[in-house]
Each structure stands twice: as structure tokens, then as C-alpha cells.
Homo-oligomer: A and B are copies of this chain.
Amino acid sequence: MYAREIEEKLTELGIKVGDKIKVSKEEKYYEGILMPRSFYNPDVLVIKLANGYNIGIEWKNIVKIEKVEEEKKKVARVERKEEIQEKHEKTISILSTGGTIASKVDYRTGGVRPAMTAQDLFEAIPELREIANIEPRTIMQVYSESMNFEHYEKMAKEVFNEIKKGVDGIVIAHGTDTMHYSSAALSFAVQNLGIPVVFVGAQRSSDRGSSDAAVNLISSCLFASQSELAGVFICMHESMSDYACAVHLGTRARKLHASRRDAFKSVNAKPVARVLWREKKIEYLCKDCVNLRDKNKESELFANFEKKVALIKLHPGFNPEIIDFLIEKSYKGIVLEGTGLGHAPEYVMHAIRNACEHAIVCMTSQCIFGRVNLNVYYTGRDLLKAGVIPCEMLPEVAFIKLAWALGNFSEEEVKEIMRKNVAGEIVERILYGE
């Protein structure tokens, strides 16, 4: 229900949810279908525009409202939907974990708080019913910046159970801040995956007219149900426009912008696919880099993560006592974010050599793009001699991988695993222009 004032006006004008209306503001007007839910702000009129996108217009800014066309075959439409819901060939799960996609604006403070459930999200976007049989479920309500290894363990187990149920794909609604850490965690924790598991988020909360939630959710559900690929992915806006979503490999993406819709980029790789959601079409950009869908695959769960692992950025003025402290505290793994090709200050070498005797020490690069190579400079060779493992992957991914490897395997196995490609994370060659 909208605010009472709005409901009264709508009744007076004979406008019902589902009708096509024209809403005029001081400077422009919008035409579209009046939507059934205003989510959390009763004073915002939600209209679905012809381009499929929802817009929210504050009631106080509306100067005129007119009915353009009555909703057609309203009852029939609902029935048809119910029917489709059972009739689709593919069934996918939406697991909601929290984050902006499942948030609302708190109009008292202006801040955003997690609130919506998977069911709410599902109901807010009727297009989802046309894609597959969908089972929405809220498994946690956490802002992604507060995710921890316990959450990864739970998420992995939930995904594993959904797979056992026989779903064709899984969508995980997730906060964007650390979505790439979570997608990496799932990439390692669930091995031999035969279906797509697609992380999706929003940069603007779902109860805002300008939210990217709908396009991202529709695209990720399309990919989860129809893609020929299996694995863990991130599906988010490809550019600033609503035209398409990019699908990134879960171990190769990074949030590279704090606020833009296309914040996620594949690093040292192309996205594996794009989803042209309006045409319900998937364009594959790199089918060879990913496993194909195979529901007969028996997934395996390795859901443990070692908590005594640290991610440390090296820089001028870095104090090696931080590394000494970690070793004193019996950390089992340290991922260093070196400079350039993976370098460390000479004045930190002593601490690194000592750390290598008590823990697994891996080297990545804070450059983000490009490869790690400890063979070019003599300082790199010193790191190799000390026992540092060069990791040709994103620092964030190396950190998650090391915590995962230490949680499930022996120290000797971990050393091998960190050098080996487990889930597409290793940069084997750089595509120019990336």
C-alpha cells in the first residue's frame, strides 16, 4: 500500500496497480505501468518504464497523474504466472545474504540498512517468474564488509545442499563490497561444480527508483538457469548503461569502483560472458576458459578456512614488526601485496625470511594488473630463495585461497596448491588491453 494520500488520489482517478499511467513532474513526465510495491517508502510512486526499468518518483514532486490504459486481462495474467512458475524446465535458487541489493533506505537517517528478504526481492521483480522456477531463500542478512570465514562456511554448505536438491543454478544476492572475496571463497570451497553459481549485487538499494538491482537480478537468473557454463561467477552491470550485464569468473574479478554500476571488472582476463537481458540472450566471450554445465558431476565440499591468515600490503615505510607480530601470534599464512612484479623492501627481508620458517608466505602484486614475476630482479630472487611462493592471482584471491588451502590440506599440499590452478584463478597469460 502507498501512503494514504496517494491511495486516495489513485482511487479518485480510478487507477489501479498494473494500469499504464502518465506522471508529470515540474520539468518532465514518465509513462509506464504502476507497480504493486513501493518497497519501503510509501511516498514514492514506482513505475515500470517501457524499457523494463523501474523508476521511483517522490509523491511531493508529482504535479499531475493520468491513467493511460487499464491493465489487460489482470486475472488471466496472474493465473498464467502461477502456471509458468510450475512449468519451467529449469529451477534455480536465489539465496539472499544481505547487502545493498537487499537493503532499504532508512528515511529517518538517510542511511541504508539491510532489510529485504529473498522473497521480497523475488516478488519485487515479476520478470523473474518468466525465467525459471525460482526458490528464494534468505540464508543470512549481513553487509558484505562484515563477512567472515564463518559466513563462507555457511554459504558453501547452503550451496552444496541446493546442488544436492538438483537445482539447475544458484543465484546469491550479496553486498558488493566484498563480493569478489566471497566468490573466490565459494570457487574453492565447492569443487567439481556442475552448475553455475552466480553472485549478484546492487550499487543502489532495491527500493530506489535508480536501483541496478532488477537488471542485475534478471541477468543473473537468466545466466544461472540458461548458461552452458558451470562454476562460480559474478554478474553485474557491464557499463553505466542498462543494456547488458557482464559475467566474471569468481576468481578473476574485483570491485574497482566505489559507486559505479559497472564497479566489477575482470582483471587480467575478459569477462566470460555478457547477458543481454532484454533479449534473454547470453553471449559467450570465453567458453574455453570455463567448465561446461554438467548436472551429473558430483560436487565436493571443502568448507574449512584457516583463520590465522593475513593479507599485508608492503610499501615504503612499512614496518617489518607487523610481520614479526603475526609470526609471534602463530599465523599460519601470510599473503604479501608486493610492489611491481611482487617486490618487498630490503629492510623487510629479514622479517620475511623468518616468517617463511614458521608460515606459508605468498607474494602477489598491488599493481592489480599484470603478472607476478620474482625472476627479473635480484631482490625477487632473494624472496624466492627465502621460500616465498609467487602467486599469479589477485591479492584478495590469494588470501582467500591460502586460508582455504590451510583449512583443508597439509602444509606440503598447501605449498603445491598455491602454485597450481584450482578455480581459474591463475593468470596464465595476459590479454593485452586488459
Q: Which residues of A contact B (CB under 8 A)?
A: 106, 109-113, 143-149, 151-152, 176-178, 181-182, 185, 240, 255-260, 263, 305, 307, 309-319, 321-322, 325-326, 329, 337-347, 365, 367-373, 375-381, 396, 399-400, 403, 432
Chain B proximity of A362: nearest CB distance (Å): 15
Chain B proximity of A336: nearest CB distance (Å): 11
- Considering residues A145, A149, A305, A432, which has the most beta carbons from chain B within 10 angstroms of its beta carbon? A145
Asked whether, in the complex, the Cβ of A310 is within 8 Å of the Cβ of B339, the reply is no
Nearest B residue to A392 via CB reads B258
Using known A-B contacts A256-B369, A258-B365, A258-B369, determine if residue A316 contacts B149 with beta carbons closer than 8 Å.
yes
4 additional A-B residue pairs with CB within 8 Å, beyond A145-B345, A305-B317 = A145-B314, A145-B346, A151-B316, A315-B396
**Distance in angstroms between the alpha carbons of A243 and B287 in the assembled complex:** 36
Nearest B residue to A204 via CB reads B376
Asked whether, in the complex, the Cβ of B377 is within 8 Å of the Cβ of A111, the reply is yes
Which B residues lie within 8 Å of A113 (CB)? Answer: 377-378
**Distance in angstroms between the alpha carbons of A313 and B177 in the assembled complex:** 13
Query: Copy number of this protein in the oligomer?
Result: 2
Chain B proximity of A361: nearest CB distance (Å): 16
Interface CB pairs A-B, < 8 A, 26: A109-B378, A109-B381, A111-B380, A111-B381, A112-B376, A145-B346, A145-B379, A146-B347, A146-B379, A147-B345, A178-B315, A178-B339, A181-B315, A255-B340, A257-B367, A258-B340, A258-B373, A259-B341, A260-B370, A263-B367, A263-B370, A305-B317, A307-B319, A311-B318, A322-B322, A325-B325
Chain B proximity of A240: nearest CB distance (Å): 7
**Distance in angstroms between the alpha carbons of A341 and B370 in the assembled complex:** 25
Nearest B residue to A255 via CB reads B367
**Distance in angstroms between the alpha carbons of A162 and B378 in the assembled complex:** 32
Which B residues lie within 8 Å of A432 (CB)? Answer: 240
Which B residues lie within 8 Å of A368 (CB)? Answer: 256-257, 368
Which B residues lie within 8 Å of A185 (CB)? Answer: 316
**Distance in angstroms between the alpha carbons of A344 and B337 in the assembled complex:** 19
Which B residues lie within 8 Å of A337 (CB)? Answer: 313
**Distance in angstroms between the alpha carbons of A99 and B285 in the assembled complex:** 39
Asked whether, in the complex, the Cβ of A338 is within 8 Å of the Cβ of B145, the reply is yes
Nearest B residue to A203 via CB reads B340
Instruction: Report the 3 A-B pairs with minimum CB-CB distance, sorted nearest first.
Output: A258-B370, A177-B340, A177-B339
Nearest B residue to A254 via CB reads B367
Nearest B residue to A381 via CB reads B111
Using known A-B contacts A106-B378, A377-B111, determine if residue A370 contacts B257 with beta carbons closer than 8 Å.
yes
Which B residues lie within 8 Å of A309 (CB)? Answer: 317
Asked whether, in the complex, the Cβ of A258 is within 8 Å of the Cβ of B367, the reply is yes
Using known A-B contacts A329-B321, A377-B111, determine if residue A177 contacts B145 with beta carbons closer than 8 Å.
no
Asked whether, in the complex, the Cβ of A371 is within 8 Å of the Cβ of B340, the reply is no
